[in-house]
Structure formats: structure tokens, C-alpha cells
Structure 1
Amino acid sequence: MSLPDIRIETARLVLRLPQATDFDRFAELIGDKDAARWIGGHLPRAAAWRKFLQQPGAWMIQGFGMFSIIDRDSGQWLGQGGPWKPDGWPGNEIGYMLHRDAWGRGYATEALTAAIDWALDTLGWDDFVHCIAPENSASKKVASRLGSTFLGMATLPPPYQDSPCEVWGQTRTQWQDTRRQRG
């Protein structure tokens, strides 16, 4: 089975499937204690490699996964974002992680808008969620900007069962209404 060749372009970004050349920046993100605190915790490079392989594996097995988020002008890997559905997860997630040097620039909202459109159109999802640590105010702001609202608390599957998780989300209809209102 070969992976699809998907390239989604936004004003500043390219979303594409993960490639081995993305790994060095991914390892930097996962190795940064502060940047990785909301995405399972920091890992040394060897363990980061195994975590990195989750997304290509998801694409191969499920037919979808998070996209690599690339700066259109520089070609630099900024992070990952998009559809994600591990076994036992509380819903069809649209998640993300960004390298520290990409924070605060609106990349998450821009990338996830394109990823949500793709997931609803291509995967046929009728709703989606964002799983967010209660203390992660930046991700709650992103979810809110996307039109998602707090739906309740959830328990994630092991090994994350002891990590509190807020579920934010919306339906396809709510997303379409949000997109129409934005123009």
C-alpha cells in the first residue's frame, strides 16, 4: 500500500504527509520540556523517532493522520496538525503540535482550518474534537477561534488515563456555519 500524495496550501503554509526529513525538527519539539508538556511529555531523540512514526503509520493503516505543517516560503517544518484517531480516543480529533519557534503566529488556526475542511470533505466526519489539557490556555484559544466549544471532561486511554482532558469540539454543521460567518 502506498501513501497518498496530498498537498494542501494555505496563504502561508503547506500541509503534506510526514517525511523523514521532518524528523530533526520533530525531535527538537519533542525534546523541549516546555513545548512537549501538553503532548505526552518530552522524549529523548530515540524515543522521539518512535513517536514520529505514529503519523506515517496512521496514514498507512487508517488512511489519515496529522499533516506536516510547512512554511511555504522557507520550507521549514513548523509542526503537525490534522485528523487523529487513536484506539479508545474520545472522538475524531483534529489536533496539533507546533515547534516553539512557530508559536504565536496564527499557524495553528490557519493549518487546522485547512485540515478540518479536508477531514470533513474527504473522511466524511460529522463532528470532531480537540483533546486539551485543562491548563493549556493557548490550545483552548485556538479551539475557540475555530468555533469549538467545551463539551466536557474525558478519560484518555492508557498510558494517558491519569492526565485530565477537556474535550472541545463541534459538528459539521457548526463548522460550516462558522466558515460562512468568516466569509
Structure 2
Amino acid sequence: MDVPVLETERLIMRSFRAEDFGPMSAFFADERSFYYGGPLSAGDAWRRLAAYAGHWVLNGYGEWALEEKESGAFVGFCGPWKPGDMPEPEIAWALLPEHYGKGFAFEAARRALRHVYETLNWPTVMSLIEPGNAASIRLAERLGATAERKMEIYGREAVVYRHLPPDLLKEQFA
């Protein structure tokens, strides 16, 4: 499966590569990865990287590795995600801590939303966010998403944030 390469003003959204393992492993070893299923051992971080890459093969879509255009640095990951045990697809995002506060997640998530609506033709999409993840809640709300309901997934409480439908999203970011 060829993963489409997308771009934003400052990011290249590309397929995962073996050299992304170092920064992914460091991210998942850090306590700040808690909201993304971490901390994880290096072996589990490798399996997560492989899952992100394999998701494209199994589903025809998935998360992209985010590369900063200026430096070439791996800064995080973002995109549509739906493991087999998830009730519906979501747009997920995560940044390495050294890249927090730069607007990269907003840029990538907004581009990912356009992709799921314009290319995959989805009528709706959500993001699952744990109640304590204030930064992701702010981002979801900045994207126009609203809290829809609470649910338990993977033994943890999450809130379903419903993103704007395609027509309203276009209006918001026109």
C-alpha cells in the first residue's frame, strides 16, 4: 500500500520509517505518553510503530508520521485510526514533548480531517480523548469538535469528541 504524502505549511505527513523508532521509543518511554497508551517498553513501542505502519495495509488509511519541513525532524503522528476493536474511526494525534505549543497538531489534524472527508468520503469522524488530557481537548475544540458522550475503551474512560461535518468544517476554515 502506498501511503499518500500530504503537506501542510510546515509539515510533511508521510509513512512511518524504521528510523522513526528512536523518537517513537523515547516518546513512549516518557510519562507524558500516558494518554496514548504509554509508557511503553522499547519492544512495545516498536510494535506500536509497526501497528501504525500496518494499519495502512489492513484498512487503506492510517496515521501519518509528522516530519517538520524545515529541520526534517520527526515531531509526532496524526491521522485516522481504527483498530478492530474500536467502535468507529477516529482522528488521533500526538506530538513529541519538545514540539508542544508550536501548532503542529492543529495543522496536521486539520489536514487529516480534510483527507477523511475529501478523499475517504467519510460523513463524520470523532476523536477519543481522556477527560484529563486538557491539551487534546483544547485542540479538538479549536478544530470545532464537541463532546458527545463518555465511553470506556481499553479499561479507561474517554470522551467522544465529534468533529464538524465536511460542509461546516469547510466554512470554519475557509
Report if TM-score (shorter chain) is over 0.5.
Answer: yes
Q: Mind listing any 5+ residue stretches in structure 1 that lack a counterpart?
A: none
Partners of 1:6 and 1:123 lie apart in 2 by 12
Aligned equivalent of 1:12, options 10, 13, 22: 10
Show CA shifts across 1:84-139 (max 9, x none).
Answer: 01123132200011101111111111001111111112211110001001111100
Identity rate of aligned residues, in percent? 30
| Runs of 4+ more than 4 Å apart | none
Aligned residues: CA RMSD: 1.2
Q: CA deviation at 1:171?
A: 4.5
- After TM superposition, the score normalised by the length of structure 2 is 0.95
Q: Amino acid of the residue matched to residue 5 of structure 2?
A: R
Number of residues paired by the alignment? Answer: 174
CA deviation string 1:40-66 (max 9, x = no partner): 121121121011111111011111110
Q: Is the 8 A contact 1:10 1:110 kept in 2?
A: yes
2:110 paired with 1:113: yes
Shift of the alpha carbon at 1:73?
A: 0.7
Work out the CA distance in 2 between the residues paired with 1:168 and 1:49: 28
**Matching residue within 73, 88, 91 for 2:88:** 91
3-state SS in 2 of match to 1:155: strand
Q: Which residue of 1 aligns with 2:161?
A: 168
Alignment of 1:2-151 (within 5 A): 3-34=1-32, 36-151=33-148
- What's the TM-score, normalizing by structure 1? 0.90
CA distance in 1, matches of 2:128, 2:55: 18
Aligned-partner Cα distance in 2 for 1:54–1:24: 16
